[in-house]
Amino acid sequence: MKNINILDSNTIDKIAAGEVVERPSAVVKELVENSIDANADAVTIEIKDGGISFIRITDNGEGIDRSQVKKAFMRHATSKIKSVEDLISVTSLGFRGEALSSISAVGKVEFLTKTKTDFIGTRYVVEGGRECVFEDAGIPDGTTIIVRDLFFNVPARKKFLKSPSSEGNNITELIEHMILSHPNISFKYIYNGNVKLQSSGKNDIKSCIYNVYGRDIANGLIEVKSIRDDISIHGFIGKPELARATRNFEIYFVNNRFIKSTLIDRALEEAYKDYLMLHKYPTVFLYFEIPSHLIDVNVHPTKREIRFFEGEALKCYIVDVIKNALINKELIKEIVEEHHEKPSVKESEINKEPFETINHIIESSYNNYYSSEIEKEDESTDINDKNEQLTLFDDKFISEESIKKHRTIGQLFNTYWLIEFENKLFIVDQHAAHEKVNYERLIKKLRNNENCSQNIYPPIVVSLSNAEAQYVTKYNDNFLNVGFTIEHFGGLDYTISTVPMELLSQNPADYFHEMLDELMEGKNSKETETVNLKIATMACKASVKGNMHLSVFEADKLISELLTLENPYNCPHGRPTIISFSKYEIEKMFKRIVN
């Protein structure tokens, strides 16, 4: 193992300062990071009562040499950096040398460790900063740390903790991110005596995603892989159907460290902009490899944030990679019969875990030893291959060649067009298709500064509410940009004398109020382009509400035009325009295929 040094004051001053252990999840984070830094490939995390009464981390890593164990618990003791210069190139997860000292100051810590070269291991007990025991321990290679009664000697801190279940949830989320950030490590997470999460350590990101987030998410992913200059991006991005109401599923790692970055969030959201409804956020699992000279990890005490030195370039790169992945993939939501459940871990598997029995022994007496190896758990939850295949869209439904081979069957419920192509039934929502096609045409003209409007004669008179009238006055220029000429006619009456060309077939009186309602509901923006786009979106949405009768010929034309768009899969609000059923699924529903 490497030597542990005490950092000099100059280096200490340069390290982002702040509290490392304010709650149980922070303790778990520091300790699991230590296991990872010690090159462990199997790590078990066990907690009870949200980590407040009990935390155990066991790894099969390098361990600490007997002669260095006490040193590791001193403040600013670390084997990971020696001087300020090392901060620039640091690749380990930890480097502040504070976790063990801070944790043992506020909890009852029992530390068991053995290196390969040590003949016998060491057991060290420190409670509230007081050394209690230092002795031999017959243990396997690696390290176990147990933290009991966190903040037992700092009641003010203890009061500050949330409920055990809420603290436990934070830990669970942390472990989920750990599993994803290190797919090469086999993790086992035991929560109040039950195995809650487990990963194989076989370096298969998709199976990690499956284990943590389940089948629906694992099946809705598109793989991305790209290298530009010295930076690489790989991983999986979710199809638009996996969109969420929060940013919690914008999950990414920089050099295997889970971080949050507004720069990356913004890049992701920009790339998905045309695919998602307002206030919806994408699901992604992305891994960035960035050379250490382009980032600074020393900006946040728990290293949750990092600084990018060439942020704008990185942002553009991310947008490019994701947009390309979304464009090149058919994003038609496929309906797959639901009947597979996420496999749950059996109670009996817990008993196989060697340290469970050890805990038991340690709980009852400090002087018992154990010897047993942590074994890599066998992957018990591989992805179901057949379902996997079903969600891959190999058929190129939208290519020019295939459009000729589409067979339009007819219209259903005055709204949906049924199309047969190869081994699939596609269903196109006529309203969503119309809205999308109109919107794209309108936006194209707006972007090219072309004239968007068409006169209507005689002008239509609409009576507005006070709020509507105010809105129309305030954004009159924007309405004009998009193609609506609206003029005051007396009182609360206004005339509409031109409308966007795309909406000519509709009577503006039928959709104008609804459009204004929707517009006023959203956030007000001052930016001209944002307001224009909003007006265009709402206008297209509101104008296609009525049941429009289309002939088969007109429907074919509409659908063909839809399929030429860069993103034909979602209406401007992110609703899908096309869904599909495979022949296989249909035959399965009719029990022609049984399995």
Using the rule CB under 6 A, which residue among 7, 21, 30, 576 binds ligand ADP?
30
Peptide bond into 458 cis (omega under 30): yes
Q: Which of 95, 189, 272, 281 forms a contact with ligand ADP (CB under 6 A)?
A: 95
Of these partners, ligand ADP, Mg ion, none, which one is at the site of residue 56 (CB under 5 to 8 Å by kind)? none
Dump the DSSP string for 275-327: GS-TT-B--EEEEEE--GGGEE-TTSTT----EETTHHHHHHHHHHHHHHHHH
Q: What stretch of H or E contains 6?
A: strand 5-6
> Got the DSSP string for 189-237?
EEETTEEEEE---SS-HHHHHHHHH-HHHHHTEEEEEEEETTEEEEEEE
**Quick one: which segment of 33-41, 164-172, 466-474, 518-526 binds Mg ion (CB under 5 A)?**
33-41
Handedness of CA 44, 47, 50, 53 (dihedral sign): negative
Closer by beta carbon to ligand ADP, 303 or else 431: 303
Q: Which does 79 bind (CB under 5 to 8 A by kind): ligand ADP, Mg ion, none?
A: ligand ADP
Examine residue 34 and tell whether it contacts Mg ion (CB under 5 A).
yes
Assess 508 for contact with ligand ADP (CB under 6 A): no
CB within 8 Å of 32: residues ≥ 6 apart: 43, 45, 57, 174, 175, 178
Stretch that binds ligand ADP, among 96-104, 158-166, 278-286, 399-407 (CB under 6 A): 96-104
Indicate whether 21 belongs to the interface with ligand ADP (CB under 6 A).
no
Residue 189 interacts with which of Mg ion, ligand ADP, none, CB < 5 to 8 Å by class: none
| Closer to ligand ADP by Cβ: residue 79 or 211 | 79
Q: Which 82-101 positions form the footprint of Mg ion (CB under 5 A)? A: 94, 99
3-state secondary structure of 88: helix
Residue 69 contacts which entry, ligand ADP, Mg ion, none (Cβ below 5-8 A, type-dependent): none
Q: Count residues contacting Mg ion (CB under 5 A)?
A: 3
* Of residues 94 and 508, the one with the C-beta less far from ligand ADP: 94
Residue 5 binds to ligand ADP (criterion: CB under 6 A): no
Q: How near is the Cβ of 143 to ligand ADP at its closest, in Å?
A: 4
- Paired tokens of 153: 């000697």
Residues 106 and 26: their CA atoms lie apart, in Å, by 13
Identify the CA nearest to 575 among candidates 548, 544, 549.
Answer: 544
Any idea which residue has 């992305």 for tokens? 286
Sequence-distant (≥ 6) Cβ neighbours of residue 340 within 8 angstroms? 215, 384, 387
144 binds ligand ADP (CB under 6 A): no
Q: Which is nearer to ligand ADP, 81 or 437 (CB)?
A: 81
Q: Which of 15, 77, 147, 321 binds ligand ADP (CB under 6 A)?
A: 77
DSSP 8-state symbol, 464: -
Contact status: 355 vs ligand ADP (CB under 6 A): no
Query: Of the ranges 95-103, 165-173, 255-263, 532-540, which one interacts with ligand ADP (CB under 6 A)?
Result: 95-103
Q: Among residues 23, 56, 66, 80, which is the contact residue for ligand ADP, using CB under 6 A?
A: 80
Tokens of residue 105, six digits: 């100051």
Give the residue with the Cβ less far from ligand ADP, 1 or 565: 1
Please answer whether residues 69 and 111 qualify as being in contact, where contact means their C-beta atoms are separated by less than 8 angstroms. yes
Query: Which candidate, 83, 134, 82, places its Cα nearest to that of 112?
Result: 134
Closer to ligand ADP by Cβ: residue 40 or 221: 40
Among candidate residues 556, 569, 532, the one with its CA nearest the CA of residue 417:
556
141 touching ligand ADP, by CB under 6 A: no
- Euclidean distance between CA atoms 127 and 104, whole angstroms: 6
Residues binding ligand ADP (CB under 6 A): 4, 30, 34-35, 38, 59, 61-64, 72, 77-80, 94-100, 143
Residues binding Mg ion (CB under 5 A): 34, 94, 99
